[in-house]
Amino acid sequence: MTTWDVKFLQTDASLDQPRSLIILNQPFTLDLIQRVWQSSRWRACADGGANRLYDTLQNDENRVKYLPDLIKGDLDSLRLDVREFYTKNGVPVVKDEDQDSTDLMKCVQEVDKRGLSGRQSEHVVLLGGLSGRLDQTIHTLSYLHKLRKTHTVFAVTDDNVGWVLDSGEHDIEIDHSFLGQTCGLLPVGVAKTVLSTRGLRWNLDEQESSFGGLVSTSNHLVPGENVWVKTTDPIWWTMELKPLNTHLI
């Protein structure tokens, strides 16, 4: 049995479980970056993710309070003004021109170099990756599926949080104060899986799910209940977030 929670999304999240944060090149609110920042102890921007951080923070007074530990990628998206600001403030900017790996992969390599990302140790949070360009979104789904045996990686946007549940049983703690009601079990990257659930409005009981068959989208969490999932094969689990504040600093 694996137990899960997304306490790192609480406004007052503590560093109970140290996390690495990778900021992707996708929009996010100030509220979301503040939540995931405070629950991380190492933060990297994947290339143009640094533009997003810079722009979202609005002014230099805020920006110096939220300096990442690293900016890495092929640097085809990082703006010159953003590069200059972060270089001036001591943030390493590392160019990796490999055209067979994405900037997301290049940042996960850095997490690995730090030696903290083992399945049982440091968790990784991706800010972005579940929306925007479809090829990039599918890359996130595929990459986290591939990483599931060696890394614990959550993907978070203003609308969603999601991750891969490996084959087996899972208890998912639900904090209804910031999670919306909608959730999904998405059989991406597997021929099929057999699912049983508790804590959902439309529960499954040893039912087969596949891309060409049943896909549990627009399911609902039951207020006050946690969720239990049993799956024979890996499956993507997603939950909707309640609307976040857009200006908190």
Residues of this chain that bind ligand VIB (CB under 6 A) = 74, 99-103
Chosen residue from 8, 13, 20, 25 binding ligand ATP by CB under 6 A: 25
First to last CA, the chain: 39
* Cβ neighbours of 98 (radius 10 Å): 12
Q: Which stretch binds ligand ATP (CB under 6 A): 43-51, 144-152, 191-199, 229-237?
A: 43-51
Q: How far is the CB of 129 from ligand VIB (least distance, A)?
A: 14
Residue whose CB is less far from ligand VIB, 59 or 99: 99
Tell me the H-state helices in the chain: 30-38, 49-57, 60-63, 80-88, 103-113, 134-147
Q: Which of ligand ATP, ligand VIB, none has residue 24 at its interface (CB below 5 to 8 Å by kind)?
A: ligand ATP
Is residue 48 a contact residue for ligand ATP (CB under 6 A)?
Answer: yes
Residue whose CB is less far from ligand ATP, 172 or 241: 241
Q: How far is the CB of 23 from ligand ATP (least distance, A)?
A: 8
Q: Which of ligand ATP, ligand VIB, none has residue 100 at its interface (CB below 5 to 8 Å by kind)?
A: ligand VIB
Q: How far is the CB of 117 from ligand ATP (least distance, A)?
A: 17
> Please, are residues 126 and 153 in contact by the beta-carbon 8 Å criterion?
yes
Sheet holding 207-209, edge to edge: 2-4, 168-172, 227-231, 193-198, 207-209
* Residue 36 exposed, middle or buried by CB count within 10 Å (0-12, 13-18, 19+): buried
| 96 to 135: interface string for ligand ATP, x by CB under 6 A | ------xxx-----------------------xx--xx--
Q: Which of ligand ATP, ligand VIB, none has residue 99 at its interface (CB below 5 to 8 Å by kind)?
A: ligand VIB
Amino acid identity, residue 136?
Q
Alpha carbon of 223 to those of 94, 131, 160, 174: distances in Å? 46, 27, 18, 9
| 66 to 85: interface string for ligand ATP, x by CB under 6 A | -------xx-xx--------
Q: Alpha-carbon distance 33 to 9, whole Å?
A: 10
